[in-house]
Structure 1
Amino acid sequence: MINTLHIKNELEQLTRLYEFLDLHTSAYGLEEQLTMQIKLALEEVVTNVILYAYPNKKDQDIRIDMNYGNKQLAIVITDKGTPFNPLEMKEPDITLPPEERPIGGLGIYLVKQLMTEVTYSRSSGKNILTMTKDIH
């Protein structure tokens, strides 16, 4: 069964995102550590959509679909914002000292480390980012 949340591109909406995630990960019986990893990845992606997908536009929709089955959690984030594939970002050089690293790219790197798979597509004028996490 797919659970869906619609939010607007406002940082205040993250509270609704956390409530949605907590409700469903609890219903799925996921461990707290796993839930925290998923929350961190989802917060990173949704915050970026809120801040950057709709430049100078308020009251825009972001859709989050979550589905759990066959020991895998799938989360799909969809928006009609500016086309952007975060997976095309250059991998950050984490061996450099923080003061020498360029800004950007660390968030999606973290998301890719936390989740089993992350994919992006653009279809019908929509950005579609899919994150999956294998649950053992």
Structure 2
Amino acid sequence: MTNTLIIKNELEQLTRLYAFLDRQAVTYGLEELQLMQVKLALEEAVTNVILYAYPDKKDQDIRIDMSYENKRLTIVITDTGTDFNPLERQEPDLTLSLEERPIGGLGIYLVKQLMTEVTYSRSAGKNILTMTKDMH
């Protein structure tokens, strides 16, 4: 069964996202550490959409679909914003000092570390980011 939340592209909407995730976590029986990891990844991915998908538009929808089956959590984030594949960003060079490191790229790196699998597709004018996490 898939549960859906639709939020607007405003940072204030993150509180609705957290409440939605917390409700699902109880239903799915997620452990505290798993919930924290998923929350961090989800916050990073959705914040990117809020900040960058609609550069000049307010009041745009971001859809989050969440399902849990066979100990695998699947989250699909869909928006109709600017075509952007965060997975094409170059991996950050973590050997560089903070001063030398270019800005950006750490968030999606973090998402990829926290989740089991992260994929992106563009279909019918929509960005679709799918994140899965195996819960063992």
- For Structure 1 versus Structure 2, the TM-score category normalised by the shorter chain is over 0.9
Residue 105 of structure 1 deviates from its aligned partner by 0.4
Q: In the alignment, residue 107 of structure 1 is paired with which amino acid?
A: G
Quote the residue 2:77 is aligned against.
77
Matches of 1:25 and 1:126, distance apart in 2: 27
- Give the AA of the match of 1:34: Q
Query: 2:85 and 2:100 mapped to 1: Cα distance?
Result: 25
Write the deviation string for residues 17-58 of structure 1: whole angstroms up to 9, x where unpaired.
000000001111000110000000000000010000001100
Task: State the partner residue of 1:61.
Answer: 61
Unaligned runs of at least 5 residues, structure 2: none
Deviation at 1:61, TM superposition (A): 0.3
Amino acid at match of 1:81: G
How many angstroms does 1:118 deviate by? 0.1
How large is the Cα RMSD of the aligned pairs?
0.4
Q: Secondary structure at the match of 2:87?
A: helix
Q: Which residue of 1 aligns with 2:42?
A: 42
Cα deviations by residue, 1:47-89 (Å, 9 ceiling, x for unpaired):
0100000011000000000000011000000000000000000
- What's the counterpart of residue 119 of structure 1? 119
Structure 2: how far apart are the matches of 1:88 and 1:13? Answer: 27
**Structure 2 residue matching 1:100: 3-state secondary structure:** coil
Alpha-carbon distance in 1 for matches of 2:23, 2:32 = 12
| Counterpart-to-counterpart distance in 2, 1:99 and 1:113 | 23
For 1:74 and 1:20, how far apart are their aligned partners in 2?
A: 14
Question: Whole-Å Cα distance in 2 between the matches of residues 135 and 34 of structure 1?
Answer: 8
| Structure 1 runs, 4 residues or longer, greater than 4 Å off | none
Q: Take 1:39 and 1:95, find their aligned partners in 2: how far apart are those partners?
A: 27
- Counterpart residue type for residue 16 of structure 1: R
CA distance in 2, matches of 1:94, 1:23: 35
Instruction: Give the drift of 1:121.
Output: 0.1
Gaps of 5+ in 1: none
In the comparison of the two structures, how many residue pairs are matched?
136
